[in-house]
Each structure stands twice: as C-alpha cells, then as structure tokens.
Amino acid sequence: MKAFDFITSDRTFKPRKNGITMMLDKGMGLNAVEDLMEVSGEYIDLAKLGWGTSALHKRELIKEKNELYFSYDVNPYPGGTLFELAFMKDMLSEFLDEADKLGFKAIEISDGSTNISNEDRLEVISQVKENGFLVITEVGKKDPNEDHNLNIDNRVNIINSDLKAGADRVLIEAREGGKNLGIYDECGNVKEDELEHMIKKTDKNKLIWEAPLKGQQVYLILKFGSNVNLGNIAPEEVTALETIRQGLRGDTLGKVNL
C-alpha cells in the first residue's frame, strides 16, 4: 500500500500502451539500477542505454542490468548511435545478434548523426522486426543546423513511413538538452504550430516526445493528458515526472485526469 493512497488515484498499469516513460540510462551501475527500480520501477516503461554506452561495459554487466530491468517490466534497449555505427560498418546482422545475446528485446533505429536513405531505413525496420525486436525509430538530427533542414512535413512523412513499415514507436528527437531541436525552440519552448501540425497528420499515440526539461513535460501533459508518451527522462527525474502526471505537483494540481 502506498503512502496517502486515500488521496491519490492509480494511473494506468504496465504493460502500458500509452503514458510511456522512457528513461535515459547514461551508464548506471547495477546497484544504482537496483535502487532506482525499487523506488521508481513501476513508473518506467523503457530504458535507453544512451548513445554507445553499452559498448563500454562488460557483457555480463549489460546482461545483468537487462535482467534486472525486465524483472520490473522495464524494456531496455541500446541507443541509436550504436545502431548507426553498426550500420556504417555494414555490421547490422552482427549488431542484432549481439543485442539478442545481451538480452535486449528492442532496437532503436536512427540517423541523428549519420545519413541513411529512406530505402535503407525501411529495409532496416523490416529486418529488425523480422528478428523479433520491438522497433523504435527516431526522427530528427543531433546537429541543430541539420535538424533545421527538416521541415514539419519532412518529419511527418518520415513518421508515417516508419509506422507503415512496422515501427512500433517513433521518438521525436530532442537530445538530453531539449533545446533548438525538433518541436523545441532555442529556449526549449514548444513550437506550438509545428506540434499541432504533427499531431494532425500522424498517430500521436505512437509517438514518444523526448522531453528532458520540466517545462516541456508540464506542457505536453497539460495538452495531451497524463498518459502522453515522454522520453529522455533522467533517472533522478522519474518520480518528479510521475508527480506531474498524477497532479501531485503545483504545475498540474487539479488540472489533469488519470
């Protein structure tokens, strides 16, 4: 029984179709993951082992972390940068084989730091799907100058193409800084016109909005409700985000329904 359970209402339970929280693991140790899972595991759905961090640690550690995540119904996956490196080196099959041996059940497909043709992107989605992984694609570039070359129609077309090809979820790029990329301006504020256009032209329930900043989380929760999908949440911010989702923080108190 939770403290003060007579005041609060339960949010949706895992496995969740919506209201997903993707946490960014930047190289946490096993003890840190265990502590986090004990405190906040029920509020985390996906754990991205960011960028190429998985390649810096021993295989046994990655396996143990994955097993621990899964024991709390959290689905871990390697960051898209590692996929991009494998694709650049023409080692996608080896990458997927290793991911499977390490216990990953999801793969992120991105071209945030590289360029992948649309034809190759669709082929990779199909290949990863055929290998039994949950497929998460990402739309956007890591470099703001390159990202600005993608207009809203470009993003919409990529999202819809990915979903049609079999992607399970699509991440909207914002990096861990959350500024000057995707739907955010240089101050981290939401570009409302672009957001409105995107949700009108895509299946918003399939999107995960990277929203590392509190103001972004509050905005998206007030707009879409508690069960909006949010990503790139720092481990230490998971519980804080959940208070925003459940109206247990001044920003959303009395303003959201579960």
Query: Is pLDDT above 90 for 9?
Result: no
Flag the least confident range among 5-9, 191-195, 241-245: 5-9
Rg (alpha carbons) of the chain, rounded to whole number: 18
Kind and range of the H or E run holding 13? none
* pLDDT tier at 1, thresholds 50, 70, 90: confident
Q: Which pTM does this prediction carry?
A: 0.97
Residue 14 in tokens:
């895992």
Residue 186 domain-assigned (yes or no): yes
Average pLDDT over residues 97-124: 97
Whole-number pLDDT of residue 258: 81
**Which CATH number is 47's domain given?**
3.20.20.70
Query: Is pLDDT above 90 for 166?
Result: yes
- In degrees, to the nearest 5, what angle opens at C-alpha 82 toward C-alphas 79 and 86? 145
Residue 13 domain-assigned (yes or no): no
Residue 240 domain-assigned (yes or no): yes
Average pLDDT over residues 57-64: 98
Kind and range of the H or E run holding 31? helix 30-40
Residue-number span of the structural domain to which 55 is assigned: 21-245
CA proximity to 84, closest of 141, 126, 45: 141
CA atoms lying within 13 Å on the CB side of residue 189: 4
Residue 91 domain-assigned (yes or no): yes
Whole-number pLDDT of residue 152: 96
- In degrees, to the nearest 5, what angle opens at C-alpha 121 toward C-alphas 115 and 125? 145
Average pLDDT over residues 74-100: 98
Residue 250 domain-assigned (yes or no): no
Q: How many residues does the chain have?
A: 258
Residue 216 in tokens:
């972004």
Average pLDDT over residues 54-68: 98
Whole-number pLDDT of residue 10: 82
The total of structural domains in the chain comes to 1
What are the E-state strand segments in the chain?
21-25, 46-49, 75-78, 106-109, 134-139, 169-172, 207-210, 230-233
Whole-number pLDDT of residue 149: 96
More confident residue, 10 or 107: 107
Whole-number pLDDT of residue 75: 98
DSSP 55-99: GGS-HHHHHHHHHHHHHTT-EEEE-HHHHHHHHHTT-HHHHHHHH
Residue 175 domain-assigned (yes or no): yes
Average pLDDT value over all residues in the chain = 97
Residue 252 domain-assigned (yes or no): no
CA proximity to 207, closest of 174, 235, 245, 180: 174
Query: Is pLDDT above 90 for 257?
Result: no
Q: pLDDT exceeding 70 applies to what percent of the chain?
A: 100
